[in-house]
Amino acid sequence: MEKTYIQDLHRHAGEEVQLQGWVSNIRSSGKVKFIVLRDGTGLVQGVMVKGQVPDSLIEKFETLTQESSLSIKGKVRKDDRAPGGFELDLTDIPHIYNIAHEYPITHKEHGIEFLADRRHLWLRSSRQHAIMRVRHRIIKTIRDFFDNRGFTLIDSPILTPAACEGTSTLFETDYFDLGKAYLSQSGQLYGEASAMAFGKIYCFGPTFRAEKSKTRRHLTEFWMVEPEVAFNDLEDDMDLAEEFLECIVQTVLQNCGPELKVLERDTTKLQNVKKPFPRITYDEAAKILHDKGLPFEWGSDLGGTDETVVSEQFDRPVMVHRYPSEVKAFYMKRDPQNPKLALAVDVLAPEGYGEIIGGSQREDDLDALLTRIKEQHLPESAFEWYLDLRRFGSVPHAGFGLGVERTVSWICGLEHVRETIPFPRMIYRLTP
């Protein structure tokens, strides 16, 4: 018999189909027996009545437990009350693959650590399923966005010889006879080299930060997409970031209605995510914080609370640009109008989700870049190749990095980034 999936049942109304999956729930109400089957594409309820089906089928039913794996056969019946719009009138259980042991995750509430320890099983729940489907859609949209605009995907290495985003969050490992290697914090420096070869590129992969803080926004392993464009300046960079975010949010709204419903996400706030986004300077952000009575000092980076307060002033993402260069990375170009400032931009998500994009125009002058590397005591020899990019046909260029997990967290309306990645890595968690 042809394989059918729950998400395709609407094409089989009135027909008999066979499904394979796992028991999400079983119950009996007198003579009526219910199996809620999960197959990865959805949930469907199968029903049978004792006396109307062979006794052997009822006996098989009685052996089933939550998460047992099996195939079922039944006739597809339209039912507007059913979550997917269809039910099955069960006719057979052709095969039982496994009778599951007592399943630890039941339909009652569990603590977050209990669930996190069982992440390999927790992923089966409807809520986690919905989050992962949104994540998938976001990743697909990211790829489509750049692919449709003539960007070339150029992968950057994970094992690197030096820091890109500060030395305090480096994971290091011994590397044969060559000393230390570090897990990449960002593919950007390689992205810049690639942009000088291909014009418009993006890299997209896992990045690593030994974050010692325990916050709802930090993972030690997270996915980042980083476009880099030759001949773009900071304004162009902001234009790209704005178009990109609008595309992600609107595409998720169009394609993930059922998932957002499972997550009880209030989508009215997401509808607003259309360009143009407000653009404010760091100075203006500092003024907002002062006006709100926060003890913010000019020159420091925006903390989590500061970002929340600033973003609450707007109904869509806000772009904060021109930060003090002291708090930003060595590769950012100084503002020619005011060399105390870096041509940097952070995009802050609404509803208190904080920074989801960090980007900048890059320093394209050899001497200025060398000075920065020396000031920050970075190992010059490890950056020789990077300096070559300023020796051989240097041009203005800019790019940014978007953190996938923070974006998923915001769009899904979650409490914590730990639910946005299949197997989260945090300071206190390396398993499962």
Instruction: Return the biggest CA–CA distance within the chain.
Output: 87
| Cβ closest to Mg ion, residue 86 vs residue 400 | 400
Determine if 358 is a binding residue for ligand 4AD (CB under 6 A): yes
Determine if 358 is a binding residue for Mg ion (CB under 5 A): yes
Cα pseudo-dihedral 206, 212, 214, 217, rounded to 10: -40
| Cβ closest to ligand 4AD, residue 61 vs residue 400 | 400
Q: What are the φ/ψ torsions at residue 145 (nearest 5 degrees)?
A: -55, -50
Task: Read off the amino acid at residue 331.
Answer: Y
Please give the residues from 382 up to 401 whose contact with ligand 4AD meets the rule CB under 6 A.
399-401
Among the listed residues 209, 322, 333, 397, the single contact to ligand 4AD using CB under 6 A: 209
Of 280, 223, 212, 249, residue with least CA distance to 401: 223
Considering only 63-71, 97-105, 267-275, 353-361, which stretch makes contact with ligand 4AD by CB under 6 A? 353-361
Determine if 403 is a binding residue for Mg ion (CB under 5 A): no
Total length of the chain: 432
| Cβ closest to Mg ion, residue 38 vs residue 218 | 218
Site mask, ligand 4AD, residues 176-195, x = CB under 6 A?
----------x-x-------
Considering only 75-83, 127-135, 245-253, 349-357, which stretch makes contact with ligand 4AD by CB under 6 A? 349-357
Angle at 351 between CA 164 and CA 409, to 5 degrees: 55
Determine if 45 is a binding residue for ligand 4AD (CB under 6 A): no
Shortest Å distance, C-beta 401 to ligand 4AD: 3
| Element holding 340 (H helix, E strand) | strand 338-349
| Cβ closest to ligand 4AD, residue 324 vs residue 401 | 401
Shortest Å distance, C-beta 263 to ligand 4AD: 20
Among the listed residues 249, 310, 357, 373, the single contact to ligand 4AD using CB under 6 A: 357
Burial class (CB in 10 A: 0-12, 13-18, 19+), 236: middle
| Cβ closest to ligand 4AD, residue 104 vs residue 206 | 206
How many CB atoms are located within 10 Å of the residue 375 CB?
A: 9
| Cβ closest to ligand 4AD, residue 328 vs residue 390 | 328
The binder of 406, among ligand 4AD, Mg ion, none, by C-beta within 5 to 8 A per type, is ligand 4AD
Considering only 50-58, 73-81, 282-290, 352-360, which stretch makes contact with Mg ion by CB under 5 A? 352-360
The binder of 200, among Mg ion, ligand 4AD, none, by C-beta within 5 to 8 A per type, is none
The answer to whether 185 and 169 have CB atoms below 8 angstroms apart is: yes
Residue owning tokens 């260029």: 397
| Cβ closest to ligand 4AD, residue 42 vs residue 399 | 399
Please tell me the distance from the alpha carbon of residue 38 to that of residue 6, in angstroms, as a whole number: 8
Q: C-alpha distances in angstroms, 81 versus 8, 45, 84, 87?
A: 18, 11, 9, 9
Q: What are the φ/ψ torsions at residue 375 (nearest 5 degrees)?
A: -55, -40
The binder of 334, among Mg ion, ligand 4AD, none, by C-beta within 5 to 8 A per type, is none
| Strand, helix or coil for residue 274 | coil
Angle at 244 between CA 238 and CA 247, to 5 degrees: 140
Shortest Å distance, C-beta 281 to Mg ion: 17
Q: C-alpha distances in angstroms, 213 versus 122, 204, 375?
A: 25, 25, 26
Please tell me the distance from the alpha carbon of residue 127 to that of residue 110, in angstroms, as a whole number: 13
The contact set with Mg ion (CB under 5 A) reads: 358
The contact set with ligand 4AD (CB under 6 A) reads: 164-165, 186, 188, 209, 211, 218-219, 222, 224, 226, 355-360, 399-401, 403, 405-406, 417
